Structure 1
Amino acid sequence: MGGVSSARGAGQPAIIEAVLPRRTRLARKVPGRETEEQVLVTNVDTAFVVQALDQTFNPRLLERMLLMCLEGGVQPVVVLNKADLCTDPAAAVAEARRRAGEAAVILTSARSGEGIDQLRPWVTPGKTGVFMGPSGVGKSSLINQLYGEEIQPTAEVRERDHKGRHTTTWRELIVLPGGGLVIDTPGMREFHLWMAGEGLHEAFPDIELVALRCRFRDCRHESEPGCAVREAVAAGQIDPDRLASYKKLRQELEYLHRLRHWQRPPHRRPRSPRPRSEEE
C-alpha cells in the first residue's frame, strides 16, 4: 500500500500503467520464525504512531515503532489519543517526548476532537500519512475526525483489558476533503523489528551524542572503562530505562542479523558441464 502508481480508467476497472520506485517504506519482520521482510506501506511522508492513554500505553512499543519509521525514511509523529480518559495527560506527554527524540508529540481525543487540527498540517495536498498502532487505540476514529464524517468503522475496546478488536482488516488509502491522503492500517498484534542501519542512532540521538565522548569508538556501554554513556546515567543525564531500551533493541537487531546469516543458503559454485567423450 502506498506504492503510488499511475493508472487510467475512470468509472471502470483501473489499468496500472506504471509503478513508481519506493522512496520510503515501513517494514517489519514477518511474524513467526522466518527472517523475511514484510513491507507494510511505501511512499508515505508521515507515520502517525498512535498510542492510547489508557492501560495499553506502552513506551517500549513506541520506541520500536519510531525506529521502524526512521529506518524507512518516514517522518514520525507521535499521537497520544484518548486524552479524555487520562487523569494526567501532561505526564504522559512528557514520557512520550522523552522517548520520541525529535519527533512531534500531539495529544488528541477522537471523541471530543481535541488536537485534530494539529494533525492536519501533516496531511496537506500532495502528502500521504499512515496511521499505525495496536488495535483499539483509535486510528480509524482519528481518520473519521480528519475526514469530517464517519467513513471508517469503529468498535469499543473490551472493558476487562482495554484491548481493541480488529475493525480495520486491510490497508485502505483515503483521500481527505482537503486533498491529503491517509492510510488506515489494521492493528499490529505482533511487531518484530526488521534490519536497521542508521535508524537505531536516529531513534536515540541523546545516547549517540554522549557516546561520542566514550574512550573507545566501539564502546557498547557495558563495562568498558571511560564509557561516557554510563557516566551520564550515573549523573542523571540519561534515564537508565532508556539506555536499557537502547541495548535491548540493539541486541534484537544483532540477533536478527546473525539469524538471517545462518538461514542464508550456502553459496555453491555452478557445476561445470561434464566433457563429452568421443563415444557420445
Structure 2
Amino acid sequence: MSSSSFSSSAAGGSAAGSVLSPYGWTAELSEQFELFAEAGLVPARLARVDRGQADAVLADPGTGELRTVRADTRPVSGGAAPANPCTGDWVALDLAAEPMTAVAALLPRRSAIIRKGAGKSSEGQVLAANVDTVLIAVSLALDPDLGRVERFLALAYESGAEPLVVLTKSDLVGDAEFVREDVERIAPGVPVLVVSAETGAGLDVLRACMGATSALIGQSGAGKSTLTNALAGHQVMTVQRTREGDEKGRHTTTTRELFALPGGGVLIDTPGLRGVGLYGGEGLQQAFAEIDELAGRCRFPDCSHLSEPGCAVRAALADGTLAQRRWESYLKLQRENEWIAARTDARLAADRVRGWKQRSKEARGNIRPWHGRRAPS
C-alpha cells in the first residue's frame, strides 16, 4: 500500500487514529492532519530526538501496526514561527523522502516545557512537547530544596500542563509524611504524592493522577529512571546508584525519551536538570498564587511592597501568614524573569537593526551609477 492510499484511509482518522490513540492521538489532531494526509504524509509522534534525527512512532502503512522509524529532523515550520522538533511532538512524515524518511511538518503544540538556555543566552530550550502532566520528582533521601521545587512548579505551570510533585524513595526514610506537609505548603493546590519505585508504594495513585502524556523532570539522583522503569512495567532505562554521602545523581539519562505505558498513555523521561532557568512569567504567578492574591489586596495598585501603608504583603510577612523564605524565593525568580524579558527584548531589537542594515545594503547595491552627462543649466 502506498503512503498516498494510506493517507486517505488510515491517516484520515480511523486506522491510524485507533493505533496511535495510546500515544495521545485525538480527533482534534486528526482534523489538523487532513491537509497533510492529502499530501501523502503520515502522522507520527517523536519518541526521541538527537543529532539531527529522531525515532518516530507511526502506524505502519502496510500492516496498520505500530512501528518505529528513524527520520531526518530538518528544521520545519511549526505554527507561526520556525521550530525544531522535540520529543513529544506530533509530526507529518514523508516516507518517500531520500535518502531517508524525513519530518515534513510539525503539528501545533498544545503545551511545551521550556527552560532558559544555558549560560547567558536568552533563548529557550524545549524539553518536551504536548504534555498533560509534569511530574516533578523530588528525592526523600535528602532534605528537599524547597526553592528548587518552587522553580520546577513555575516551569511546569509555564508549560501549560498540570504539575504533580512526586516524592520518591519513600522506602529510605521514616518521615515522608512530614516532608510532604512541608512541600504541600509551597505547592498550594498541587497534588503531592509519596511513592517508592522499589516497593511499589503509591504507584497506583500516581498512575491514576497522570494524564495521557506525562513528562518526568527533576534533579539527577531524584530516581526518575527507576520510577520510569516501575511505571513502564519493565526496565526501559539504565539505573545507576547515587553517590554515597550526598546522594548526587550521575546523569543516567542523557536524552529525552518517550515510552508507552501499560494500559495506555506515555511518559517522557528527561535528563537531570542542574539549572532550572525559567523562560516566561505566567508560571511564576501561578506557582506563587497566594502572593499574587495578597498583592491584589494592597491599598495602592502599584504597591512595591517595601514601605507603602496598607501593604497586604508586608502585613502577611509580619504576622507569619507569608513565610519570609517564600517571599525571597518569589523575588529572586521575578528578577530572573525580568532579566530574561530584557535580554529577549534586546535580542529582538538587535535582530530588527540587523534586518534594517541588510535591507539598506541591498538597496544601495541596486542603485546604478550615473554615467551620462549633466544637462546644461
**TM-score normalised by length of structure 1:** 0.90
SS of match in other structure, 1:265: helix
Contact 1:79 1:107 in 2 (8 A): yes
SS of match in other structure, 2:180: helix
Contact 1:48 1:78 in 2 (8 A): yes
Residue number in structure 1 paired with 2:306: 222
Residue number in structure 1 paired with 2:171: 84
Pairwise CA distance, 1:147:
1.7
Pairwise CA distance, 1:108:
0.7
How many correspondences in the alignment? 274
CA distance in 1, matches of 2:199, 2:92: 38
Give the 3 Å change call, closer, same or farther, for CA 14–181 of structure 1 in structure 2: farther
Matched, 1:279 2:371: yes
**1:120-269 aligned within 5 A:** 120-123=207-210, 127-196=212-281, 198-263=282-347, 264-265=349-350, 267-268=352-353, 269=356
Deviates more, 1:249-258 or 1:34-43: 249-258
CA distance in 2, matches of 1:158, 1:182: 26
Q: Which amino acid aligns with 1:93?
A: R
Q: Which amino acid aligns with 1:229?
A: V
Residue by residue, what CA displacement relative to the aligned partner does 1:196-239 show, whole Å, maximum 9, x if unpaired? Answer: 2x221111111111211101212232222221011012122111
Pairwise CA distance, 1:101:
2.1
Residue by residue, what CA displacement relative to the aligned partner does 1:80-117 show, whole Å, maximum 9, x if unpaired? Answer: 11112223112210111111122111111111111101
Residue number in structure 1 paired with 2:46: none
Indicate the percent of aligned positions where both proteins have the same amino acid: 40
For structure 2, list consecutive stretches of 5 or more residues without a partner in the other structure: 1-86, 373-377
CA distance in 1, matches of 2:314, 2:166: 31
Residue number in structure 1 paired with 2:7: none
Q: Which amino acid aligns with 1:178?
A: G
Contact 1:123 1:182 in 2 (8 A): no
Matched, 1:2 2:2: no
CA distance in 2, matches of 1:275, 1:42: 48
SS of match in other structure, 2:166: strand
Pairwise CA distance, 1:266:
6.4
Pairwise CA distance, 1:35:
1.4
Between Structure 1 and Structure 2, which shows a larger proportion of helix residues? 2
CA RMSD of aligned residues (A): 2.1
Pairwise CA distance, 1:190:
2.0
Pairwise CA distance, 1:17:
5.6
Residue by residue, what CA displacement relative to the aligned partner does 1:104-134 show, whole Å, maximum 9, x if unpaired? Answer: 111111111111011112346xx10011101
SS of match in other structure, 2:259: strand
> Which structure's CA Rg is the greater one?
2
**1:40-51 aligned within 5 A:** 40-51=127-138
Q: Which amino acid aligns with 2:345?
A: H
**TM-score normalised by length of structure 2:** 0.68
Q: 1:97 aligns with which of 184, 189, 193?
A: 184
For structure 1, list consecutive stretches of 5 or more residues without a partner in the other structure: none
Deviates more, 1:59-68 or 1:15-24: 15-24
Pairwise CA distance, 1:192:
1.4
Q: 2:112 aligns with which of 22, 25, 33?
A: 25
Pairwise CA distance, 1:7:
4.7
Deviates more, 1:172-181 or 1:265-274: 265-274
Deviates more, 1:71-80 or 1:115-124: 115-124
Q: Which amino acid aligns with 2:322?
A: I
CA distance in 1, matches of 2:305, 2:198: 44
SS of match in other structure, 2:350: coil
For CA contacts below 8 A with separation 6 or more, give which structure has more relative contact order.
1
Contact 1:122 1:129 in 2 (8 A): no
Contact 1:23 1:43 in 2 (8 A): yes
CA distance in 2, matches of 1:175, 1:150: 12
CA distance in 2, matches of 1:79, 1:213: 33
